[in-house]
A and B are shown apart, each in its own frame.
Chain A
Amino acid sequence: MEYIYSVLILIGINIIMASSFNLIIGYGGLISIAHPIFFALAGYCSAIVSMKFGVPIPLAIVLGTLFSTVLSVALSLPSLRVSGDYLLIASIGFQLGFVEVIKNIEAAGAASGLTGIPALYSGPLRSPAFVVTILAVAALVVWLVHRMTHGDYGRAIQAMRDDEECFTSLGRNATAIKVAIFAVGSGVAGLAGALYAHYSQFLSPEQFGIIQSGLILTMVVVGGMGTTWGPVVGALLLTALPQAITFVNLPTAIMAPLQGMIYTGLVLLFLFVRPQGLMAKKVRQ
């Protein structure tokens, strides 16, 4: 049972990560690889303020989320004022740089990881409570992304993607929209990270490497960029698949590279064969 719970939680976390990354890359057209680091920054922030300063956990989670949101603005605002390419370059620096920073901060457990993070829930119903919380947040995030990308705001996002110059000349501030999209997407990743920290009670820099960026991207591409349900399907598939492989009981020396190859293969396969992903948007002119 405990295994089922842990898979469900992983699915929920991945849905949150994929949906929020889809907002950034699929709808916003913003290319960044820094999604995992916003997960990490909020996780560490929430863990540390609750451990060192005794901040109540729910408040710590909020602070962690805000921390990632604010840092995402610090990343996107200066780069997007220059161009979209700068965001990608800056995000690489951000992702790689902060992993190194975390590895060297003693208070964050450095390279060996941060242990003893207080749990959000305790007692016998701890795991099902986490499952319900994470899945509820995942549903909320899917809804939020859907709301943002439809209606008036969604129309503006779409027009911006169609023709940014024409869009601005109608009186719309494209930079503000992009920064907002990036902040919401990164904040949501942060929320996932903070929740995760108080579930697993352990964080280590290995969990947020660039390989995670690839995994989240795979989920979005396979499921379908710029669709509401694509990232959900992608997250389900790509969480279930490695779990299934685990049952074959291969040694980790084979498992790890095998997973990497499967992800890479899937991205390439989909980019060539079905670039719109599984949950294709209806094809329009």
Chain B
Amino acid sequence: MPASDTEPGDGAAPPPALGYPTERTCPFSPPPEFARLREQPGLPAVEALEGGRPWLVTRYADARAVLGSPAFSARFDTPGFPLMSPSDVQQRDDRTESLIRTDDPEHLRQRRRLTRDFTVKRIAALRPEIQGVVDGALDELLAHDGSADLIATVALPIPSRVICLLLGVPYADHGFFQRAAARALAGDSSPDEVRTALGELGDYLAALVREKVRDPQDDILSRLATAYLVPGEIDEREMVTIAMTLLVAGFETTGNMIGLGTALFLTHPEQRALFTAGDEQLQRNAVEELLRYLSIAHHPRQFAATEDVTVGGHTVRAGEGVLISLPAVNRDADAFDDPDTFDITRPAQQHLAFSYGTHQCLGQALARMELLLYFRTLFARVPSLRLLDAPEDFDLKQRSRAHGFRSLSVAWQEDAR
């Protein structure tokens, strides 16, 4: 019986907990249930697999307050931490470690080992290489006979190739690690399936890391191995965890943004026209608006309070869980005018699609660069691009931690392109 069920001085039985909202009515927008919850005072209680009944945050200001506060722990083993999927249960039971599930100051100590490879300057220097990957993927798309699946030909290959290039992972193995990562992350994988997938990925990366130690190259894994593994600051297990985090975080997310963003532009021709006519500053802003509007990280952010904190007029007690819906937060009218309109000219920089606080996305500069170069190049090279399916027939991922297409059929005119 979770201690969180009653408020002090409140004798009435609490309302039953909601299931975490997942029913979308529009492929580009969060479940409408969130809009209703955002209007209610306080915080609703939500069902969790384990860890009591966490409170759900849907307002922008509340989300920033939680994400920016050291009173909330992201560790699986903090009392009250809400477990939302079999993958969570498995990772808690196996004491799987990862950057995302670590608290400061330890978290920042680990993160600082990685930040130098993802700075704005470092990523800007990689622009020619990333452009090369984008060009190559579009060559492959156009080699098809006037129509293709955008996800398999472009959306996954671009971020996979880029992260392989940066990390020093052979791209030839992408089929293997994409499947393993998908199984590890799928909402409906059993704990055993998750364990097997993570085990296979771990063995693969351990072998790769040993190779980097033997024969270091000019890539991130070699640099990390040389700087931290060889001198013994981290052991092989920690090194493999880092490699897995960077590899897995780096492609599915960006791939989802490429697929959904393309479909969003193609269903909003006036925004697409603005984008293609715009300068790079507008195009950069358009990427921020895509990130805000689509908010593909739809699995909730999960925390446990380590002290009593008031959020949205509601006291969250130490030992209670909190969930945050980033898609809901990014559609809050108190933070964005007319939030349900896709408008690439609006100020969107303060969106929380990369989250906020100490865990804000490490790879954000890279993701932004990939998306900018992709959309610029796509519309310049394939102006006749169109969708083959109506939005109600879209092939969306079901029960995945990140929102996106499984496949997306597109077509273009061979001669005009």
Q: Is chain B found bound to chain A in the same assembly?
A: no
Chain A interface (Cβ < 8 Å from any Cβ of B): none
Chain B interface (Cβ < 8 Å from any Cβ of A): none
